[in-house]
Structure 1
Amino acid sequence: MRFSALFLMLFCLVQLLKAQSVSSIDSLKKALKHTEDELSKLAITNELSEELYKNNPSQALAYAHESELLAQNLGSDSLLNNAYINQATAYLHIGNYPKALQLYQKAIIGAQKLGDSNALFSVYERLGILYHFQNNNRKAIQYFFYALTQFSKKNITNKKLIERKAYLLKNIGIVYNETKNYSMSADYFNQALTLAKQLNNHELMANVLNYQGSLFLNQGNKDLALKQYLEALQLRKESNNKWGLASSYLSIGQYYFNQKDYANAEIYLKEAIESGKQVNFWPNVSMSSLYLYQLYKQKGDYKNALTAFELNNAVNDTLFSIDRVRKMQQLEMQYDFDRKQAELKAQQRKKEMYYWLGTITLFFLLSAVFVLYLWQRNKTKKIELEQLNLQLANQELETDLVTKEQELAAHIKHLSSKNELINEVSEKLLAIKQNVNAKTQNSVQKITMDIQANLQPELLDELELRFQQVNENFYKNLNDKFVDLTPSERRLCALLKLNMSTKDISTMTHQSTKAIDVARTRLRKKLNLTGTDQSLAEFLEQF
C-alpha cells in the first residue's frame, strides 16, 4: 500500500506541470529541427530532457542519450556530466533504480572534479528521492541534507532555484513525517510553505498543505488535517489544476473513509475518480476506486462494490499496459542509442585514421626528400654503404634462417621419435592386454598409464610441488580417510581438485581420455561415490 502511495505521489508530481510545459516542449522540438550547430543542439536536448522526465521519462531518456553523444563529440565534460544526470533522472522516473544509481554516482564524481555545486545539488536531491522510493529513509534524508548544503554555499535569487529548494524542504518534511519525527517534519513543511507563498506558486502551496494534512493526521489532530486538505483543494480549484484536484479529492476521501464518514468519503472519492478520468490520471483513479470498493463493501452495498471493483481492475490493466509499452520504448531507445554511439565511435575512428594517414604520408614525403638530398650529395658512398649493409643483412638473415631451421628440424624429430615410441609401446601393451587374464590386464593398464605419466615427469612433479604448497594438508587428509589410494589416484585427485577436465588431464599426463574416464570411475568407487550425483571435484573440495 505504501509503494502505491509513493507511485501515486510521483505520478501526481509528474502531471502537475504537464499542461504548462507542453507549449515550451513544442517550441524546443521545433528549434531542435531547425538547428545545425552542435552546441545549440546540445543545449536544446538537455533542456528537453529536463522538461520531459516528469511526464514522459522514456522520451526524456532518448534526448539525454542524444545529449551524451553530442557532448562526447564536443569534448565538454560539464555538459557530458549534465547528460548523465538527465539520463539517471529519466531512469529514476521509469523505475530502473540500479541504472539511475549507477549514473548518479558517475555524475557525482564528475561534478566534484568540476566543482559544479548546481550539478551536485541535482544529484544529491534526486538520490534522496531514489532512496525514499526504495523505503531507505536513512539514506534519503542523508542525501537531501547533502543537497541542502549546496544551497548554503550561495545566495539564491533565481525563482527556479528557490522553487527547487522549497520542494527539497518539502521532501525532507515527508521523510521526517514517515519516520515519526513530527516536530522536524512540521518545521521543514513550514519552511517550504513560506517559500511557496513567496513565489505565489499555488500548486506548490497546495502540495505542501496536503502533506501538512497528513502530518496533522499522524499527530491525531484530525480537524487541522482536514483544514489543510480543504485549503489545498481550494487553491487547486482557483488554479483549475485538474491533476491537483484529483489528488486533493482522493486525500479528503481517504480522510473521511478512515473516520468512517462514508457519506462524505463517497462524495470525494467519486470526484477523485471523475477528475482523474478527465486527465488520464489512472493511478489516482485506481486508488480512489479501491477505496470506493472498500467503502461499499463496508456498507453492504455489493452492487456498487462490484462496479467499483470492476473499475479498479480495468484501470490496473491500463496501468500495466502503459508500463509494458514504456519498457518496450525504453529498450528500443537503448538500442537506438547504442547504435548511434557505435556510429559516432566509428566516425571518430575514421577521422583518427585519416589524421594518422595524412601524418604518416607527410612524414614519408619529407623523409623521401631528405633521403634524396643526401643521396645527391653522397651518391657513391651511399651506394657502397647500402651494398655493404645489404650483404651483412643478408648474411645475418641466412644465418638466422639456418639456425631456426635446424632447431625446428630437431624439435620435429624429437616429437616424431617420442610419438613413435609412445604408439609402439602402447600398441604392444594393448596387444598383450588382449591375451592375458583380467588381473594381468589391470596390471598392463597400470603400466600403460605409468609410462604415459612419466613422459614429462618434471612437469607433473612441478605441478604437484606447487599444488602441495597451496594445499598443504590435502594429501594428508585424503590419506587419513582413504588409505588404499595409489599415488596415481592421489595425483588424479589433485588434478580434479584443480577443476581440470578429462581432456586437460589427458594432455597433462599423456594418457587417453578413455584411460582417464576409467581412472575416474575406479576413483569414484574407492571414494564411495558410486550411485551418487556428487561430482569428484565437489567431493574433493572438503579436503
Structure 2
Amino acid sequence: MKKTYILTLLFLTVFLNFFGQNLKKDNNYNQTKALHNVLVSIKEKVYENELQASKTLDSLKPILEEKANDSLLGLFYRLKYNLSSNQLKKELALQSINKSIFHYNKANNYKGIVLSTMNKGNIYLFKGDNIKAIENYLTALKIAENNDLKNEIGLLNKNIGVVFSNQEKHDEALKYANKALNIFKSLNNEKEISSSYINIGNCYFNTYDANNALFNYEKAVSISEKLKDSLNLSLLYNNIGTVYLEDKKDTLNGIKYLQRSLAVKENLNDKNNLLFQYTNISSLLANLKRFQEANMYLDKAFKMAKQSENKLELAEIYEVYSKIYEGKKDYAESLKYYKLHKKINDTLLGIGNKKAVEEIKTKYETAKKEKQIIEKELKLKKQENLIISLSVFGVLISLIGFLIYRQQKLKNKQQEKEFQLQSAIEKIETQNQLFDQRLAISRDLHDNIGAQLTFIISSVDNLKFGFKITDQKISNQLNKINSFAKTTITELRDTIWAMNAESFTFEDLQVRMLNFKEQAEQSNQNLKIDFTVQPILKTVKISSLEGVNIYRVMQEALNNAVKYAAATHINIHAKEEKKCIKILISDNGKGFNIDEVDLGNGIQNMQKRIGDINGEFELTSSKNGTKILLSIPFKP
C-alpha cells in the first residue's frame, strides 16, 4: 500500500508541473475542479508519507496563489494543519488553520469555515485549554446551525461532549454524545455513528459502568469492521482493553486488545493517538511491575506530549512516572512527579476553568433562545403587515358601492381590532417567556451553584471545627477556600441581581455599591470609603450590562487599592458632565510607576468592561496614590 502511494505522489508532482504551465492558458471550472481533486487525494493519504505529502503541497502553493481561489487555499492550509498536527507541531498547526479560516472567510465558504474553526478548537483541546476549545466549537456551531450543515453540527456536538468529559461533567458529555449520534443516524453516516458510540462508551467507562461501556464499544466495532475503518478500530481496541484491565480485571484480554491497538496505530503513523497508546501501555506495564519496559514506553509518550504541548496527557504521564518510581522505591522522584501531575490536573479541572466553560455555554444557549424570540416577533410583524395590506385592499374594493363599503369597513375595523389585541397578547407572552427564561437561569444559578458553594463553606467549617488541625498551612488554606467561596456567592448574587432587570437607575447601583462598601469596611477597620453621587444621577436609567460592568470595575478598583496599594482612604465620586457619567475613584495608597509596571489582568479587564459599554478608562498613579476616571455616555 505504501509503495503505491509514493508512486501516486510522484505522478501528482509531474502532473502539477504540467498543470502549472498550462494554467494561464485555460483558466476555467475544470482546472479548479482538477486542483480540488488533487488536494482531496493528498488529504486521504496524508499520513502514509508525510515528507512526500509536504513536498507535493509545497509544489502546489505557487499554483494556488496564482489561481487566487480562496476556497482551494482554505483547503490547502487545512492540509498543512493536518501534517503539522500529526507531527505534533501544534504552533505551526495553529498558524496554518488560522490561514485556512482567513481564506474560507474571504470565499464565504461556510462549510470550510466551520470545519477549520472546529480544527482550531481541536488544537486547544489537545493543549488542555478547554475555554478556547469550547469558544471555537460554539463559534463553528452557530455558523453550522445558521447554514443547516447537519453533518458538521453532529461533529461539533461530539467534540463539545469531549470538552465536558475532560472536565468530568459526565452527564453533560453523554447528552452531547447522544445528540451527535441522533444527527448521524438521521444522515446515515456510519463512520460518525461508530465514533459517537465510542464517545458514549467513554462516558459510561468514566462513570464506572463497564457493561454499558463495552455494549457501546461493541456496536462501534461492528460498524468499523464493516467499513474497514482502521482509525476507529485502533481507538476501540485501546478502550476495550482498558475496560478489561481496569474494570473486568482480565489482564490477558486487556493486553491482547492494547497490543492490537498499538499495531494499528503504528501502521497508520497516527502520532496523536500513538501518544495516548504509549501512555496506556506504560501504565499497564507499571501495574505488572515491569518498570523498565514501562519507562521505555513512557519516555516516548513524554517526548511526544512535550512536543505537542498536550497538558491533559502530560498529567497522565507524570502520574505513571510517579507510579513507576514508587514501585522502584525511589519515593523522592515519585513525589516529584506526583506533584507535577497534581499541578497540571488542578489547572485543567480548576473551579475557574469549569466556571468559564459553563459561562460560555450558557451565553451561547441564551443568545440562541433570544434569537428564536426575535424571529417569532418578526413573524408576528409580517402577519400584522399582511393584515393591514388586506384591510387597505378591502377598503378599495368597498368603493364599488356605498352599502358594501360601509359593511366591509365595519368588518375590517373589527378584524383589525381583534388582530391588534391578539398581537398585543402575543407580544406580552413573548416578553413573559423571555423574563421566565432569565428567571429560570438565575434560579438555576442560585439553586445549583449557590447551593454547591454553600456546601463547600459548610464542609470547610465542619473540617475546621470537627478536627484538631495543628498544621497552620492547612488551616490557612481552609480559610482561603472558605473566603473564596463566600466571595463567589456574593458575586453570584450580584450577577443574578443584574440578570433579573433589563434596566435600573443609578441609585440602584449606588445602593449595591454601598453594601459592598460596608462589607469592605467591616473586614478592614482601618479602611474608610467615601461614596458620593450627584443628585441628578440618581434617577438616570442604565442597562443591566452597563450597571454590572460599572459595578465590577468599582469593585476591582477598591480591591486593588486595599490589596496592592495598602490604601486606608478611598473616595468615589459620581457626577454628570456633558451627557456623561463621570466616576472618579481615588486612594491614598503607595501608587506605582505605570511605565515600569506590567499591568495585570485586573486592570486590563477593567479597561475591557468600560470599552464594552462605549466608555473611556483613564488611570494615573504617583507616590501619593492612584486615580481611576470612568466616563460613560448616557441619554438624560
What is the TM-score with the length of structure 1 in the denominator? 0.46
Which one has a larger percent helix, Structure 1 or Structure 2? 1
What is the TM-score with the length of structure 2 in the denominator? 0.40
Which one has a larger percent strand, Structure 1 or Structure 2? 2
Larger Rg: 1
Higher RCO (CA < 8 A, seq sep 6+): 1
